[in-house]
Structure 1
Amino acid sequence: MPARITAFLLHLAASGLIAVLAMLLVFRLWYPAPLHQALGITHIFLLLLLIDVILGPLLTLLTYQVDKKTLVMDLAVIATLQLAALGYGLWTVAQGRPAWIVYNTDRFDVVTVVDIDPRQLHETKPHYRNAPWTGHRWVGATRPDDIEQRNDILFEAALGGSDIAQRPNLYRPLEEMREAIQQRAQPLASLNIFNDSATVQTTLEKWPEATAWVPLMARSQPMVVLLGKDKCEVISIVKLNPW
């Protein structure tokens, strides 16, 4: 086998391995199913990864010559460019990863890293100040008691600014939202209003412990959060329409 083809195949194999590791990081840790669909990241990231995996080995195929004096330099440049492109793509995806899933009034909101309002982080409890790197966390958010602050938030949210879900200083443990969630949780039967009944049945068969649900708001596609018997325990996020 020609040395050029061997170099191409080795580079392709290495690129494929790195791509698999990147996919595990993104789709298992940062965007576990079905959140990657709810946030619309699937096709964008896979396209970026495909281009990166193919382009590097192709450049190796085009430039590889055993007796070429600048071969090592050429390969180093190709590898550097490929890793830089992958690193930039991963950083961009990381900035859009879901950090918090926040119960807000009558629904859960997916809050990504870039959605977080940093203005009052100094008033935030330490465990809510930094977006987690090892997967999203479930929390609740409550409106401030001060009427002026509450009105300011409502006004800003109405203009497209930050609502309480994007403000970590208003976060609370989800357990503290138990009563509010129980009051707003909807019966499973109502899912048939917004979805095909066969799809609902098939989905619920996978989660027999579910007894109620609330909507999940996300950037690209709203979904449903299934709740357990006390209507506060989160069972799963499922790909069903909430309205």
Structure 2
Amino acid sequence: MSVKKLYKLKLSATCYKVLFSSLIIAIIVIPLYFFWFPYPLNKSLNINKMVVNIFFVNIALVGLLTFIFFNPERKDNKVNMLIISFFQVVALFVGLYYLVQVRPAWLVHHQDRIYLVQPSSTIYPENVGIYQKVIDQFFGRVQLKTVKFSDNSFKYQDQLNQSVSGVGIEYQPLEYRSYDKSFALKYAQPISNLLKYNKKNKVSEKVEEYSRQAKLWLPLRSSANGQDMVVLLDDKGSMVAIVTLNPW
């Protein structure tokens, strides 16, 4: 076989592999992306570029390996293609696992703010089994929860020390309780306070759609590299929406 013909066959096989792989990955990743990263939380976490990079790295890996190792005249050609497919599947699962770790799993209200908590930042006691962690991290949409400091003075001091050191109860899923509307109302701020941190026309634009319901708000604390936002509440403490306004 001539070099030119082999080159054409390699190019053809690579294009086919890339197109097929792109379709499979899109079918798997896109639904999971919209399920795990609803707007505007995807923007809050600055996750979009990361998802695109995972997609293209997987495709580029498959395309490059196919072009290098595809050769129909070699007896082990099918085996090579199967090995490449295996590495592709492994790379895809690694990418999905990473997405699971950085997805917004919980919105946790703690006193004067709501924390956007990712599985990668959670803290579990050593005696918690892997099953509980998997259930918490992989399944379900974003959950709205509440955490409160203990009434016990000794436990309260311990929790306070943990918060100061950056491992507070807002990152401990076993401390989460059902969202407490009345507790949120104690710390919620009037909409007018948003004018301290945002231009009036931007506040009007973002809040207008929810003006009939939104009466109060709480800051949304994102990840270290993320964008903090604002959680709008009604007069009963229920969450109305998350909007891209500055909370401080």
TM-superposed CA distance for 1:100, in Å, is: 1.6
Structure 1 position 33 matched with structure 2 position 36: no
Structure 1 position 164 matched with structure 2 position 169: yes
Give 1:185's aligned residue: 188
Q: Percent identity, please.
A: 26
Give 2:178's aligned residue: 173
Structure 1 position 194 matched with structure 2 position 197: yes
TM-score w.r.t. length of structure 2: 0.84
Structure 1 position 12 matched with structure 2 position 18: yes
Segments of 5+ residues of structure 2 without an aligned counterpart are none
Cα 1:178–1:58 change in 2 (3 A) is same
Measure, in 2, the Cα distance between the counterparts of 1:57 and 1:131: 32
Cα 1:48–1:131 change in 2 (3 A) is closer
Cα 1:238–1:18 change in 2 (3 A) is farther
Give 2:54's aligned residue: 48
TM-superposed CA distance for 1:31, in Å, is: 1.8
TM-superposed CA distance for 1:49, in Å, is: 1.6
Listed one character per residue, the Cα deviations across residues 42-90 of structure 1 (whole Å, up to 9, x for unaligned) are 2223212211112212322333233222211111111111221121121
Structure 1 position 216 matched with structure 2 position 220: yes
TM-superposed CA distance for 1:94, in Å, is: 0.9
Q: Which runs of 4+ in 1 moved over 6 A?
A: none
Segments of 5+ residues of structure 1 without an aligned counterpart are none
- RMSD over aligned Cα atoms: 2.4
Give 1:242's aligned residue: 247
Measure, in 2, the Cα distance between the counterparts of 1:167 and 1:138: 14
| Secondary structure, aligned partner of 1:109 | strand
Do the aligned partners of 2:101 and 2:137 also contact (CA within 8 Å) in 1? no
Greater shift in the superposed pair: 36-45 or 69-78? 36-45
TM-superposed CA distance for 1:37, in Å, is: 2.7
Do the aligned partners of 1:191 and 1:200 also contact (CA within 8 Å) in 2? yes
Cα 1:32–1:60 change in 2 (3 A) is same
1:38-187 to 2 correspondence within 5 Å?
A: 38-119=44-125, 130-131=136-137, 133-160=139-166, 162-174=167-179, 177-187=180-190
Cα 1:178–1:147 change in 2 (3 A) is same
Measure, in 1, the Cα distance between the counterparts of 2:122 and 2:68: 45
